[in-house]
């Protein structure tokens, strides 16, 4: 097992009857990032403001992994 491999996670989900395509994974990831960003802005906790500063780098890394799910790298997921 590769640590944090989205491809392996997708295969596990498919084996349990949840067929997730790269497009749907991208929708899920983008929704999650939007939710985290909005929550961090609304939160009075100043530590999550640090997360906001790193969010573009984190988002780019995660989306580059999502882009590889189907085995074809398009570069459009960023």
Which of 75 and 41 is assigned the larger pLDDT? 41
What is the rounded CA–CA span in Å between residue 33 and residue 16?
25
Select from 63, 66, 58, 55 the least CA-distant residue to 9.
Answer: 66
Say whether pTM exceeds 0.85. no
Which of 72 and 65 is assigned the larger pLDDT? 65
Contacts of 49 (CB under 8 A, 6+ apart): 40
pLDDT in tens, 14-54: 787 666 677 788 888 999 999 989 998 898 888 888 889 99
What is the rounded CA–CA span in Å between residue 73 and residue 68?
5
């Amino acid at each position: 097992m590769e640590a944090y491999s989205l491809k392996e996670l997708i295969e596990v989900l498919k084996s349990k009857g949840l067929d997730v395509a790269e497009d749907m994974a991208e929708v899920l990831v983008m929704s999650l990032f939007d939710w985290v960003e909005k929550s961090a802005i609304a939160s009075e906790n100043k530590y999550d403001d640090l997360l906001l500063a790193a969010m573009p780098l984190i988002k780019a890394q995660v989306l580059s992994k999502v882009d590889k799910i189907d085995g074809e790298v398009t570069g459009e997921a960023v």
